[in-house]
Chain A
């Protein structure tokens, strides 16, 4: 059996694998005191060594989203392999790219909050890796190391997310070639599907 959209298929299968992998994409470590592990499908927040109960509720919502994505991706793989239908989906792309911007958002929010509450500290601009935030209260001097770490699974997810572009080109080319050959191309069932 010949696969009509191999790039799309690879994109979808790898995407399914990444979505199903229960690993955190990024870890935000605020001085070892507050540690947040996050991915679009799971979330954990640990304060002074204790996991906050709210992370369970948030994770439940994200896991529900993971289940939804797994089901729809499986449906798409079925459509591509069995029905030879072109499928376009940008879910992983739209989930992975914003992670690059989150540290910047945290930077602005943190400094805004510090300013509002007159916290005598300046949140350092940490995009990745580590930075140090200093605070002084009277005789007490605090140096908090802030470490923001993307994990390997994130880079894999980002790479697969970027595969959406060749996959889209692939489905479009097929659509164009089919249009050139005959009327079959206008068959509505061959339209790219699965925009999520």
Chain B
């Protein structure tokens, strides 16, 4: 062994020792062994999440109901604004019955022997006019029919007992309160008393507080008038009444105070709030009730009832309807499929009808259909159909179920264009706003969506089908998590085909471009051919 060889051996040993010391091999030796396994496991776990489908969930059902209405030319809503009764003259006159100025007398009641089911009341009328007993109710008694008591005459009234034991206790304690509804000498009277062995009811006008009275209403207009309500200081209309053109109807009023009412009525000072439908135009306001009401609809504002026809098979919500002279009353209003009506507040009928006649009453309409909002400005006419939706703005909610933000740069189609670039946050939602540019039949037309996800820009192409958007060419980003190049050679099944092989350098992202001939195929097994490094892998996977 010569000295040189010894030196050579020492140098060699020194190199190995230096490496071991510098790289701290004893502590890292475990890593050296486990590294290949961790590389393989890491790659396998990353590769399973390497494909991110840029899935966005559009409300296609709502979109299609809007689009289909355009398709069949039916439009969205048809509104029929009642034609202006501009030349109508006439009025309403109220024929208030002439009532006796004074009634004075009593009505005596005496309880006859009673059993568990019925009680008989003997009524004696001390007045010089007929008294009609409309109703008597107590806590435990009811009356079944009307009885008429002739002037200075008597009548036996049968009352049904609902609870004999309770009635007996209440009656003997003098606590059975009863309410009587009478018409005495044509005056409706409601009075209360306690049922006793004999009870005397004092009936007198003008001391009577109030009651019901029937007033004949004459309609001098050439159209149907419906009175919804009349409320004055002393009277209220009990229920709505319809009065045919140039005809009369009997309206039942509740009069709180006859004396007060007559005094005001005679002097023409009974101011009432009334709402009524005059030939399709609902007006409401203050009127003076004297010999009549002269309610000319054109001179005032009010509530207009507009008949609408909804040709869709889904309800339409009207959020807003606003013009120079009109505004939707109590928004939102729901329009069910078929015929119905909406009510709008009119500030000035004259202005409204003049605007319609001149064609310059533009209204802003905001509708909701299956979650899609549609905003548009359209000129109002007497039969306004929203068939020309050109220029309408559609607001469509969109959801992003992926865990990556998706930016939608543009959506173009022959009928809709995205108005502004919109970013949907991960697992979030937002609203896309579209401008409707054309109203041709959308079925069969193409829709192109430009979007960005994970820094990759994608172009998705769809065809508008009768049931929804059908993908035709979809782009999907795919990450290559491996340190070796990857080439997606083919992805195919009966309806999906990769359009061109995609080479993805190590640790970067590529874009798969797939042609889809049947959307259902996206959930089917696909045959995938991938070249990883120089290893060809063919497999069947399900997305």
A residues at B contact (CB < 8 Å):
29, 31-33, 46-50, 52-54, 56-57, 60-61, 63-65, 67-69, 71-72, 75, 139-145, 147
Select B19's contact among A54, A57, A141, beta carbons within 8 Å. A57
Cα A60 to Cα B25 in complex, Å, equals: 11
CB <8 Å contact, B483 and A140? no
> With A33-B532, A72-B8, A145-B534 known to touch, is A53 a contact of B31 (CB < 8 Å)?
yes
Cα A54 to Cα B7 in complex, Å, equals: 27
Chain B residue contacts of A143, Cβ below 8 A: 535-538
Chain A residue contacts of B359, Cβ below 8 A: none
Counting chain B residues whose Cβ lies within 8 A of the other chain, the interface size class is 35 or more
User: Which DSSP category, helix, strand, loop or mixed, fits chain B's interface?
Assistant: helix
CB <8 Å contact, B39 and A48? yes
B11 CB within 8 Å of chain A: yes
Q: List 25 A-B contacts (CB under 8 A).
A: A31-B533, A32-B485, A32-B535, A48-B40, A49-B506, A50-B35, A52-B32, A52-B35, A53-B28, A53-B32, A57-B23, A60-B15, A60-B20, A63-B15, A64-B14, A65-B12, A71-B4, A71-B8, A72-B5, A139-B539, A140-B539, A141-B537, A141-B538, A142-B535, A144-B535
B484 CB within 8 Å of chain A: yes
CB <8 Å contact, B537 and A64? no
Q: Give the residue name and chain of the A residue nearest to B484 (CB).
A: A49
Chain B residues numbered 1-56 whose CB sits less than 8 Å from any CB in chain A = 2, 4-5, 7-9, 11-16, 19-20, 23, 25, 28, 31-33, 35-36, 39-40, 43
CB <8 Å contact, A71 and B536? no
Cα A68 to Cα B11 in complex, Å, equals: 7
Chain B residue contacts of A33, Cβ below 8 A: 484, 532-533, 535
Cα A60 to Cα B13 in complex, Å, equals: 10
User: Smallest CB–CB gap between B410 and chain A, Å?
Assistant: 37
Chain A residue contacts of B532, Cβ below 8 A: 31-33
B182 CB within 8 Å of chain A: no
Closest 7 CB pairs of A and B: A49-B483, A32-B533, A31-B535, A60-B19, A71-B8, A64-B12, A32-B534
CB <8 Å contact, A47 and B15? no
CB <8 Å contact, B32 and A68? no
CB <8 Å contact, A61 and B535? no
Select B9's contact among A48, A56, A68, beta carbons within 8 Å. A68
CB <8 Å contact, B16 and A139? no
Select B25's contact among A32, A50, A57, beta carbons within 8 Å. A57
Cα A141 to Cα B528 in complex, Å, equals: 10
Q: Give the residue name and chain of the B residue nearest to A71 (CB).
A: B8
Select B35's contact among A54, A61, A141, A147, beta carbons within 8 Å. A54
Chain B residue contacts of A65, Cβ below 8 A: 12
Interface-central residue, B19, B40, B533, by most chain A CB under 10 Å: B533
Select B8's contact among A31, A48, A68, beta carbons within 8 Å. A68
Chain B residue contacts of A52, Cβ below 8 A: 32, 35-36, 39
Chain A residue contacts of B14, Cβ below 8 A: 64
Chain A residue contacts of B23, Cβ below 8 A: 56-57
Chain A residue contacts of B36, Cβ below 8 A: 47, 52
